[in-house]
């Protein structure tokens, strides 16, 4: 390839997108010095037209974030639980991580109270494996039918373009299964000090399968090696104005000064047979598994050490999808997870195009031999020898994998229904958030919880919703409910 045009002084010169020398960086072509402009100033037209098309739609949720590359290194032997290559002893696998807030838009402040996304893409020898989790181990609901409505209650009211605490508490107080996640959100974890100072969780239960085909259920915990730290509400509010990009700046700053952030991956393993009559439904996304029942087992460590060279290419166009699973790792009967297996690839096709897997952050490090062809922005020919199957020209054949591929579970023959999960004896929406408040938080954390909740509820402009919001806290913990009620009453009579 030629070196391209050079200026008389040897420096680089500007070109058009097609590589020809550009006529000027500063002056448009006009009829005389003061005359009208001309349509055949194709360079001006190219600049304007490209600019007009610079944006792709932002993610419908998790629009604001930051991403970095690094490595995941296995430190312990968990091969008795999974044959996935990425978790074999000593294996090192490149990763891309993206952290995000959920409800805000691309320019929204990093320090708004919100769960944080914790999305990982492992470029494994078996193809890409994505773990798309949050910094909380639970979620607001257990049926995906409710996700879209929930998100609408948290985003802007279409009539006013404003976010609205009345909508938020209206939804939460009508959905008691949200209580556990809302307790996390209103507690210290709702505003981490930085992306480096937070844990990441799969939240969902997945299936692991070992080389002999033995299955277990698994939950992932990426525990921050920097320590969990939070921002008090007043500091979060101040930083929202002083530096809306605080967390992105912090992540990139730490990597630039070689203070590489890391997380230790630990997992909880539940024997396959335990699930059926465990005291509560282990696939219910609003529940954690007590560590006393299923202790943490170390797997390895993730270190982030490289800021992508271009934010748009590598972070904005990164396409994480829980459906990117590899042999040895499968889904579970968690209905939320099963719905997510459809949703993400679908949104990528809409947002960045049907050939999104060819973009640099999404391209697997193994050869792709798919029979898919063509479509907008296609740039790699199918690596198959023929574009249909079966063929007589040496094209690839899908080979049924032994064991791991069949990450299935038995289902009783049944009618098609629209019903909640079969109940387990201790299913309850309030027991775990109550335990979080009473057993995990200390007095100071409980004080901050009351203050955060009361401050948030103070913006509710509907007496019915306000009353239900107070009842919601009384159901979680009567003492917290009483304190919130007193604060809210104080605010309203003040």
CA distance 268 to 265: 10
Closest-approach residue to ligand HEM (CB): 117
144 near ligand HEM, judged by CB under 6 A: yes
65 near ligand HEM, judged by CB under 6 A: yes
150 near ligand HEM, judged by CB under 6 A: no
* CB 244 to ligand HEM: min, Å: 18
60 near ligand HEM, judged by CB under 6 A: yes
179 near ligand HEM, judged by CB under 6 A: no
Q: How many CB atoms lie within 10 A of CB 297?
A: 15
H helix or E strand, kind and range, residue 121: strand 116-124
Considering beta carbons, is residue 315 or 465 the nearer one to ligand HEM?
A: 315
Q: Reduce the DSSP state of residue 105 to 3 states and report it.
A: coil
Question: Strands 329-330, 206-209: parallel, antiparallel or unpaired by DSSP?
Answer: antiparallel
Considering beta carbons, is residue 93 or 134 the nearer one to ligand HEM?
A: 134
CA distance 290 to 131: 22
Q: Which of 400, 283, 173, 31 is CA-nearest to residue 182?
A: 173
- Compose the 202-241 pattern: x for residues touching ligand HEM by CB under 6 A, - for all others: -x--------------------------------------
- Residue 236 tokens read as 């979060």
Considering beta carbons, is residue 244 or 315 the nearer one to ligand HEM?
A: 315
Q: Reduce the DSSP state of residue 77 to 3 states and report it.
A: coil
CA distance 132 to 322: 6
Cβ-proximal residues to 241 (8 Å cutoff; 6+ apart), any chain: 109
Considering only 130-138, 214-222, 396-404, 412-420, which stretch makes contact with ligand HEM by CB under 6 A? 130-138
61 near ligand HEM, judged by CB under 6 A: yes
| Residues listed for the chain | 494
Q: How many CB atoms lie within 10 A of CB 27?
A: 10
Q: Are 266 and 298 in contact (CB under 8 A)?
A: yes
CA distance 9 to 22: 17
Nearest-10 crossing angle of helices 478-493, 443-457: 40
- Choice from 82, 100, 324, 357 touching ligand HEM (CB under 6 A): 100
132 near ligand HEM, judged by CB under 6 A: yes
- Choice from 167, 265, 299, 318 touching ligand HEM (CB under 6 A): 318
Q: How many CB atoms lie within 10 A of CB 224?
A: 20
Considering beta carbons, is residue 43 or 99 the nearer one to ligand HEM?
A: 99
* CB 131 to ligand HEM: min, Å: 9
* CB 58 to ligand HEM: min, Å: 8
323 near ligand HEM, judged by CB under 6 A: no
- Compose the 332-351 pattern: x for residues touching ligand HEM by CB under 6 A, - for all others: ----x--xx--xx--x---x
Using alpha carbons, list the distances in angstroms from residue 238 to 112, 115, 246.
Answer: 10, 19, 11
98 near ligand HEM, judged by CB under 6 A: yes
Contacts with ligand HEM: how many residues (CB under 6 A)? 26
Q: What is the DSSP letter of 401?
A: P
Instruction: Name the catalytic one among 50, 52, 62, 135.
Output: 62
Considering only 71-79, 127-135, 256-264, 421-429, which stretch makes contact with ligand HEM by CB under 6 A? 127-135
- Active site (annotated) includes residue 128: no
* CB 119 to ligand HEM: min, Å: 4
Considering beta carbons, is residue 297 or 339 the nearer one to ligand HEM?
A: 339
- Active site (annotated) includes residue 452: no
Percentage helix, strand, coil for the chain under 3-state DSSP, each rounded to 5: 30, 20, 50
Q: What is the DSSP letter of 10?
A: S
134 near ligand HEM, judged by CB under 6 A: yes
- Compose the 273-312 pattern: x for residues touching ligand HEM by CB under 6 A, - for all others: ----------------------------------------
Q: Are 333 and 354 in contact (CB under 8 A)?
A: no
Cα of 409 vs its chain's centroid, Å? 26
Cβ-proximal residues to 200 (8 Å cutoff; 6+ apart), any chain: 118, 120, 133, 134, 135, 220, 221, 222, 263
Considering beta carbons, is residue 314 or 448 the nearer one to ligand HEM?
A: 314
Considering beta carbons, is residue 46 or 358 the nearer one to ligand HEM?
A: 358
Considering beta carbons, is residue 429 or 477 the nearer one to ligand HEM?
A: 429
Helices (H), 391-477: 431-435, 443-457, 463-476
Which residue in this structure is represented by tokens 């390839």? 1
* CB 197 to ligand HEM: min, Å: 17
* CB 177 to ligand HEM: min, Å: 13
CA distance 322 to 312: 22
**Residues that are catalytic:** 62, 134
Positions in the binding site for ligand HEM (CB under 6 A): 59-62, 65, 98, 100, 117, 119, 132-134, 139, 144, 147, 203, 318-320, 336, 339-340, 343-344, 347, 351
């Amino acid at each position: 390839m030629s070196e391209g045009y050079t200026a008389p002084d040897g420096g680089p010169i500007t070109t058009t997108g097609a590589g020809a020398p550009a006529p000027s960086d500063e002056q448009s072509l006009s009829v005389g010095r003061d005359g009208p402009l001309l349509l055949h100033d194709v360079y001006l037209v190219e600049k304007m037209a490209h600019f007009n098309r610079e944006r792709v739609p932002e993610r419908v949720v998790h629009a604001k974030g930051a991403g970095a590359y690094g490595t995941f290194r296995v430190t312990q032997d968990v091969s008795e639980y999974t044959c996935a290559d990425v978790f074999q002893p000593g294996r090192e696998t490149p990763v891309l991580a993206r952290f995000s807030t959920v409800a805000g838009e691309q320019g929204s402040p990093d320090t708004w109270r919100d769960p944080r996304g914790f999305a990982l893409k492992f470029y494994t020898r078996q193809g890409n494996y994505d773990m798309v989790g949050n910094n909380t181990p639970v979620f607001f609901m257990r049926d995906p039918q409710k996700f879209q409505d929930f998100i609408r209650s948290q985003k802007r009211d279409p009539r006013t373009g404003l976010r609205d605490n009345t909508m938020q508490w209206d939804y939460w107080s009508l959905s008691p299964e949200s209580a556990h996640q809302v307790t996390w959100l209103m507690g210290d974890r709702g505003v981490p000090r930085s992306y480096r100072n937070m844990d990441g969780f799969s939240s969902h239960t997945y299936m692991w399968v070992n080389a002999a085909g033995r299955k277990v259920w698994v939950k992932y915990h990426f525990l921050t090696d920097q320590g969990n730290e939070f921002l008090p509400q007043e500091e979060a509010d101040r930083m929202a104005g002083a530096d809306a990009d605080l967390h992105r700046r912090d992540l990139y700053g730490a990597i630039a000064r070689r203070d590489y952030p890391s997380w230790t991956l630990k997992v909880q393993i539940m024997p396959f047979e335990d699930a059926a009559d465990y005291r509560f439904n282990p696939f219910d996304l609003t529940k954690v598994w007590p560590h006393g029942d299923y202790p943490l087992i170390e797997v390895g460590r993730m270190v982030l050490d490289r800021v992508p060279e271009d934010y748009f290419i590598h972070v904005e166009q990164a396409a994480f999808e829980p459906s990117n699973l590899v042999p040895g790792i499968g889904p579970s009967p968690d209905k939320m997870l099963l719905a997510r297996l459809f949703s993400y690839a679908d949104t990528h096709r809409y947002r960045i195009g049907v050939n999104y897997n060819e973009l640099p952050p999404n391209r697997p490090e193994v050869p792709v031999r798919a029979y898919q062809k063509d479509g907008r922005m296609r740039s790699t020919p199918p690596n198959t020898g023929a574009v249909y199957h079966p063929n007589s020209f040496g094209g690839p054949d899908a080979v049924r994998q032994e064991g791991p591929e069949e990450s299935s579970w038995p289902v009783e023959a049944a009618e098609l229904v629209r019903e909640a999960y079969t109940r387990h004896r201790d299913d309850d929406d309030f027991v775990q958030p109550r335990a979080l408040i009473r057993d995990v938080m200390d007095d100071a954390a409980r004080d901050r919880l009351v203050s955060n909740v009361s401050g948030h509820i103070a913006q509710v402009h509907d007496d019915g919703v306000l009353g239900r919001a107070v009842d919601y806290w009384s159901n979680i913990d009567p003492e917290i409910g009483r304190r919130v009620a007193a604060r809210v009453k104080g605010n309203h009579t003040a």
